[in-house]
Structure 1
Amino acid sequence: MNLIRLSIERPTAVVAMVLMIVLFGWVSLQKVPIQMAPDVRQPVIIIKTNWRGAAPSEVEREIVTKQEEELKGLEGVKRIVSEAKHNQGVVTLEFNPGLDFNRTLLLTANRLDRVTGYPEEADEPTISTSGTDDNAIAWFTLTRTKDNERSMGTYGDFLRDVIEGRYERINGVGGVNLYGDNERELQVIIDPLKLAFYRLTIPEVIQRLRAENTAVTGGDVNEGKRRYVVRTDGELNTPSDVRNILLRSEKSARSGSERSERFEGGFGRVTVGDVATVHVAYKERFARARQFGVPALGFNLTREQGANVLETMKEIRSVTKELAEGPIKKAGLILRQIYDETEYINSSISLVTQNIYYGGALAIIV
């Protein structure tokens, strides 16, 4: 019995089968993520550790190698790719598909906490599920208003605290990459003449700064049913804290010099403020962004794996409008979106729909 005769003799079964196929197709269509290109790479976790002023060989020896030793036994790891470059070490973990990614992130963070012996100048490692190599779904620029004369390089904290944090909370956004921003730092500029006058050295000053800028646990005190944890908090947060650090307090035993006359009959008290200038400034910029010849800041958004770009971009537009009319406007800045991946996705969907109509019409005619 051929298929055509069977279909004619049992029309109800054929109609029911067609309706089931249409229903399953509609359900699948709702769950399939809409994006410009399918996910072809494995699930990855990217670990970045910044160490300003370090050479690639130092980054590899002091940071990357130690992290690899702890992470190589992680469950589900398929491949580890490491990169050591100036000022930064990057370790990329590639996992087998099908893993519980939230659990994998937790295990990775726990393994990373085991790594000890980082250089004192190195920052804490950061973990992300996307990197700058991922295709961005949106690009934005920030420029000043006409009456705003503040340098764009000083808006780094605003970009990280206000804008980056808000976009990262959007469901479907995997990461925010910033370009042209700058960070604040507490600078201690030592005067070599004053240092020589007080017969101090730079290593001595650095040693005192490190010793004072620390928090130490002092144990606990039990009082009846209560237990108090004692902690000495000595972190330096303001320029005045740094200026008041005591470098030397001694009685001068020498005579016949200006220095001995200065301290004779009492104790000489030398602080950081006596030998250095302490102020808050911005780090040296290694990159600058411009738009049409005007200083600017830029950032892009990358998607999470499997995210629906159309739904994600819908929420991104809402957040963009909220930021542009709120904190960004108050800061004297203008936010512009210069790239939107959904434009190409919508164009592709329209083309596919058009081809379906043409194909169906031709099939009916033939």
Structure 2
Amino acid sequence: MNLIRLAIDKPVSVSVVVLLTLLFGLLALMSIPVQMTPNVDSTVVTVSTFWEGASPQEVEQEIVDKQEERLKSVSGLKKMTSQSTENSATVALEFYVGVDKDEALREVSDKLREVPAYPENVDEPVISASNPQDRDYIAWIMFETTDPELDIRTLFDFADERVKPQLERAEGVAEVNVLGGMEREVQVRFDPIRLAQLGVTYGQLADALRSENVNVSAGSIDSGKSSVRVRTVGQYESLTDIEQTVITYTDGGPIRVGDVAEAALTFKEPGSFVRSMGQTVMAINVQREVGTNVIEVMKDLKATIERLNETGGMLDAQARKLGLNGTLRLRQVYDQTIYINSAVQLVIKNIFIGGGLAIVTLLIFLRSVRAVGVIGLAIPISIIGTFVAMVAARAKPERHQFGRAGVCGRHGG
């Protein structure tokens, strides 16, 4: 009753407090980040093992099965998944919320020591810990072309060296990955018969290529008040440079790489592939920085994509450079903010419906417009005031928190 009497005796002070609550609540709502789901402090431990030259079946039988047999008894384990690919194995262990990360890493390391001996040439398993929130990708973007003769995957170098840095400059972007492309590489294809005829071994060929393709610092030369740095440049600049490399010397003269092999510029076998509508494509995924506003990050990211796609932009210039019979552009196929905006609008709609029903119900029973008006004002004030507390707690307005604010507001009414 003292609080009610105070409000009646000091209406100006109460009005000021209410207005300040509304003001700071609205400022807080505009300043705090927005994201789709809450941060969950669960721990994921990943075990990566490399075995060069092994098939996926061999990796599964000789590495993954043995590791899973030991790791399944780790305390606090919620879920374990594995992936066996050519040359490597990955086992991911997700722990329940509250499990200490350092303790989980220690126990996983101890269990791996119990694994029976691995086959020869298997590298030591690498253990790392991460949070599921760290893999929160807010956008997926695909490269598209109207030229039917172009394999879009061959543009990996352009995507990685030109497009990727542009997207990384967008405000709030933490990481950009290019997937499904084919990276250029130089292959030296040797003729084993020719090697045998000239008495050259594969090791000699490999050593010659490795030792010649380097830049070496030769120190500096002091000349009075000035100092000149000396550097010998030996890295290959063309296929001809590779084929002119001397492997060894014989009585008949030098034996060069071109005498036993052919250098060719080609593409690496892709380590991953992306398919869309039945077609193999190249894609980009984007990860935001932790604590940033997804909506603001997406606005800047979309502006960057639009700038790259515009006539005369980077993609248009690349299409002309390649002589494409069509266009080259980026198309965003996943946008996390669509789901965020939809969820927020749904919660706001429910708040209005719930608040309206509460007011109508009170009006039916109280039959006093004045009393219901006071209670009706309390609903939005309490909801908006909640955001001040959220800022103080460094929280983010997620779907479940909007819902709670609506419940608290109607209950407060």
Shared fold (TM-score, shorter chain, > 0.5): yes
Q: Return the alpha-carbon distance in structure 2 between the equivalents of residues 11 and 131 of structure 1.
A: 50
Higher helix share: 2
User: What's the counterpart of residue 313 of structure 1?
Assistant: 298
Q: Return the alpha-carbon distance in structure 1 between the equivalents of residues 219 and 42 of structure 2.
A: 46
State the Cα distance separating 1:231 from its structure 2 match: 1.6
Equivalent residue letter for 2:160 = R
Higher strand share: 1
1:307–1:55 Cα change, 3 Å: farther
Describe how 1:62-77 pairs up with structure 2 within 5 A.
Answer: none
* Number of corresponding residues: 285
Residue 273 of structure 1: which of 244, 254, 258 is its match? 258
User: What's the counterpart of residue 334 of structure 2?
Assistant: 339
Q: Kindly indicate whether residue 133 of structure 2 is the aligned counterpart of residue 138 of structure 1.
A: no
Q: Return the alpha-carbon distance in structure 2 between the equivalents of residues 15 and 43 of structure 1.
A: 47
Do the aligned residues in 2 keep the contact of 1:289 with 1:296 (CA within 8 Å)?
yes
Do the aligned residues in 2 keep the contact of 1:246 with 1:269 (CA within 8 Å)?
yes
User: What's the counterpart of residue 355 of structure 1?
Assistant: 350
State the Cα distance separating 1:131 from its structure 2 match: 9.2
Q: Return the alpha-carbon distance in structure 2 between the equivalents of residues 240 and 50 of structure 1.
A: 38
State the Cα distance separating 1:27 from its structure 2 match: 2.4
Q: Return the alpha-carbon distance in structure 1 between the equivalents of residues 263 and 54 of structure 2.
A: 27
Q: Return the alpha-carbon distance in structure 1 between the equivalents of residues 158 and 294 of structure 2.
A: 27
State the Cα deviation string for residues 294-323 of structure 1 (Å, max 9, x = none): 231112111110111111111111111122
Identity %: 37
Comparing 35-44 with 187-196, greater Cα deviation is found at 35-44
SS of the residue aligned with 2:171? Answer: coil
1:173–1:324 Cα change, 3 Å: same
1:283–1:50 Cα change, 3 Å: farther
Do the aligned residues in 1 keep the contact of 2:39 with 2:133 (CA within 8 Å)?
no
User: What's the counterpart of residue 246 of structure 2?
Assistant: 246
State the Cα distance separating 1:4 from its structure 2 match: 1.4
User: What's the counterpart of residue 70 of structure 2?
Assistant: none
1:347–1:19 Cα change, 3 Å: same
TM-score with structure 2 setting the length: 0.62
Comparing 351-360 with 242-251, greater Cα deviation is found at 351-360
Describe how 1:1-366 pairs up with structure 2 within 5 A.
Answer: 2-41=2-41, 53=52, 134-145=135-146, 147-251=147-251, 263=252, 268-325=253-310, 326-330=313-317, 331=319, 332-365=327-360, 366=362
Unaligned runs of 5+ in 2: 56-82, 93-129, 320-326, 363-413
State the Cα deviation string for residues 170-211 of structure 1 (Å, max 9, x = none): 111111122211111111111111111111000001111111
Equivalent residue letter for 1:316 = L
State the Cα distance separating 1:219 from its structure 2 match: 1.8
SS of the residue aligned with 1:200? Answer: coil
State the Cα distance separating 1:5 from its structure 2 match: 1.7
Q: Return the alpha-carbon distance in structure 2 between the equivalents of residues 250 and 200 of structure 1.
A: 10
Q: Return the alpha-carbon distance in structure 2 between the equivalents of residues 329 and 50 of structure 1.
A: 42
Q: Return the alpha-carbon distance in structure 1 between the equivalents of residues 248 and 211 of structure 2.
A: 14
Q: Return the alpha-carbon distance in structure 1 between the equivalents of residues 209 and 49 of structure 2.
A: 21
Do the aligned residues in 2 keep the contact of 1:39 with 1:305 (CA within 8 Å)?
no
TM-score with structure 1 setting the length: 0.69
Q: Return the alpha-carbon distance in structure 1 between the equivalents of residues 51 and 240 of structure 2.
A: 25
SS of the residue aligned with 2:282? Answer: strand
Do the aligned residues in 1 keep the contact of 2:40 with 2:133 (CA within 8 Å)?
no
State the Cα deviation string for residues 79-116 of structure 1 (Å, max 9, x = none): xxxx99866799x9xxxxxxxxxxxxxxxxxxxxxxxx
State the Cα deviation string for residues 230-256 of structure 1 (Å, max 9, x = none): 1222112321111111112332xxxxx
Do the aligned residues in 2 keep the contact of 1:143 with 1:294 (CA within 8 Å)?
no
1:51–1:155 Cα change, 3 Å: farther
1:153–1:309 Cα change, 3 Å: same
Q: Return the alpha-carbon distance in structure 2 between the equivalents of residues 338 and 217 of structure 1.
A: 48
State the Cα distance separating 1:277 from its structure 2 match: 0.5
State the Cα distance separating 1:280 from its structure 2 match: 1.0
State the Cα deviation string for residues 144-185 of structure 1 (Å, max 9, x = none): 31x341222311111112221111111111111222111111
